[in-house]
């Protein structure tokens, strides 16, 4: 999907503050990365695109709590009651007033189990989002730069970030709880997280180290082993693909907005993301196969219909050779049959005699009409009075003989329903 990923600044936000951003079309490859003020940030280029804000690791504190049973959780259950529960659980673990902090629960958190809670300054985060929204870059998701949990390599990983003057080290997947730790990039700080991080003799056991280009040399000197270059743009892409969304409680979007955003993101991902390329090809081939099949079926149906029409025309011209031009074969055949019948002196079910015979056989004994009206294929008998049971019986008998009948204002109307 088309996504604009930007890092929030640790300094107070403002219209002139620069944001380091990465623009991606598929969530895996950067199209562009640079820095710009909020008003000059690019927009996602495709429908369903989103703006993702990344909270730096230094701005977050990670706390581990166990929520009591019965506390409702989920995107629609982030109520003041749940926030009060979190404030009570974290009050002794935080240095600042909980009322001044923003809380965000880990995805798929469950009551009665230990969960991670991301904590940051509420006013700082709200101001940063408001500045971006005022510049026309409404943030869809807020994600942490690093989050607790298993790493891609399945073991602890180190990231050296910052500048040579303010370098720091981020340890991910640390300990049994797979926590995130942020430390200064110094030999003294490395002793706090174990000897494997800076021992050249234990390269096999040491966690992978990724470093920004600005601090790569410093990290190699401090750790005593080579590092892999890892840019801020790559870090932004990794963070945006995570499951976390720190926009919770008073910063959360409405349920309808979230649903529309997810639907748009899913559609955009299916259309553009590389991992869906095979599915897109499959869907395209399936649609093409259906289109070819429908056209083939329509061609066969047209051919069958044309064959039937040709058969009807041939039957007419072979039966009546004097018919040279076929316009409406059934009507012309009916007309020719009527002419033959008339020439032979025979009658058809539409003539007066068969209609009178059918009426006489169907009417109850003693029912005689006082007037007759005949037109081609239709006979009206006036002065006929029938009860409901008699009317049903008469209609049934006439239908069996191939005629329709109905009682209309003291008269019985018969109409021939069979071809002559």
Which CATH code fits 352-416?
A: 3.30.1360
Distance CA 190, CA 193 (A): 6
- In the chain, which residues have pLDDT < 70? 1, 45-48, 74-77, 192-206, 253-275, 341-342, 344-347, 418-420
Distance CA 117, CA 83 (A): 11
Q: What is the pLDDT of residue 199?
A: 46
Q: What is the pLDDT of residue 204?
A: 53
Global pTM? 0.61
Q: What is the pLDDT of residue 285?
A: 87
Distance CA 6, CA 295 (A): 49
> In terms of Cα–Cα distance, which of 124, 106, 123 is closest to 115?
106
Please spell the DSSP secondary structure of 270-328, one letter per residue: HHH-GGGHHHHHHHHHHHHHHHHHHHHHHHHHHHHHHHHHHHHHHHHHHH-TT----S-
Q: What is the pLDDT of residue 265?
A: 55
Question: What confidence tens digit (pLDDT) does each residue in 271-311 have?
Answer: 666 667 788 788 888 888 888 999 999 999 999 998 988 88
Question: What confidence tens digit (pLDDT) does each residue in 186-232 have?
Answer: 877 777 666 545 444 445 556 778 999 999 999 999 888 899 999 99
> In terms of Cα–Cα distance, which of 394, 33, 420 is closest to 235?
33
**Assigned CATH topology for domain 1-147+242-272:** Nucleotidyltransferase; domain 5 (3.30.420)
Contact 326, 312 (CB under 8 A): no
Q: Which residues contact 218 (CB under 8 A, 6 or more apart)?
A: 160, 164, 167, 185
Q: What is the pLDDT of residue 273?
A: 63
Q: What is the pLDDT of residue 7?
A: 95
């Amino acid at each position: 999907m088309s996504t604009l990923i930007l890092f929030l600044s640790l300094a107070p936000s403002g219209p002139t503050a620069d944001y380091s951003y990465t623009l991606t079309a598929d969530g895996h490859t950067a199209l562009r990365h640079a820095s710009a003020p909020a008003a000059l940030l690019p927009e996602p280029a495709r429908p369903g695109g989103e703006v993702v804000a990344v909270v730096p690791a230094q701005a977050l504190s990670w706390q581990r709590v166990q929520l009591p049973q019965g506390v409702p959780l989920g995107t629609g259950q982030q109520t003041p009651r749940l926030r009060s529960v979190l404030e009570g659980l974290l009050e002794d673990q935080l240095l600042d007033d909980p009322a001044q902090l923003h809380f965000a629960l880990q995805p798929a958190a469950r009551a009665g189990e230990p969960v991670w809670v991301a904590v940051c300054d509420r006013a700082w985060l709200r101001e940063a989002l408001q500045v971006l929204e005022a510049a026309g870059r409404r943030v869809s998701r807020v994600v942490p730069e690093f989050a607790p949990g298993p790493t891609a390599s399945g073991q602890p990983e180190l990231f050296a970030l910052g500048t040579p003057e303010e370098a720091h080290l981020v340890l991910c997947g640390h300990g049994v709880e797979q926590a995130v730790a942020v430390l200064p990039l110094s030999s003294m700080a490395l002793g706090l997280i174990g000897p494997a991080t800076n021992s050249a003799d234990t390269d096999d056991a040491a966690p992978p180290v990724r470093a920004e280009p600005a601090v790569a040399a410093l990290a190699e000197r401090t750790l005593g082993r080579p590092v892999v270059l890892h840019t801020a743009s790559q870090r932004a892409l990794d963070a945006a693909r995570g499951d976390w969304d720190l926009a919770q409680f008073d910063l959360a979007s409405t349920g309808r907005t979230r649903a529309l955003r997810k639907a748009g993101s899913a559609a955009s991902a299916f259309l553009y993301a590389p991992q869906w390329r095979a599915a897109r090809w499959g869907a395209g081939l399936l649609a093409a196969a259906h289109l070819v099949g429908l056209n083939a079926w329509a061609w066969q149906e047209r051919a069958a219909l044309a064959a039937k029409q040709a058969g009807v025309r041939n039957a007419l011209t072979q039966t009546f050779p004097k018919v040279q031009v076929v316009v409406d074969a059934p009507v012309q055949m009916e007309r020719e049959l009527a002419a033959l019948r008339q020439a032979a002196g025979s009658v058809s079910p539409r003539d007066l005699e068969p209609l009178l015979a059918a009426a006489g056989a169907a009417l109850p004994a003693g029912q005689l009409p006082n007037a007759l009206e005949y037109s081609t294929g239709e006979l009206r008998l006036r002065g006929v009075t029938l009860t409901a049971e008699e009317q049903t019986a008469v209609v049934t008998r006439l239908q069996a003989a191939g005629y329709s009948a109905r009682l209309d204002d003291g008269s019985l109307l018969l109409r021939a329903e069979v071809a002559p």
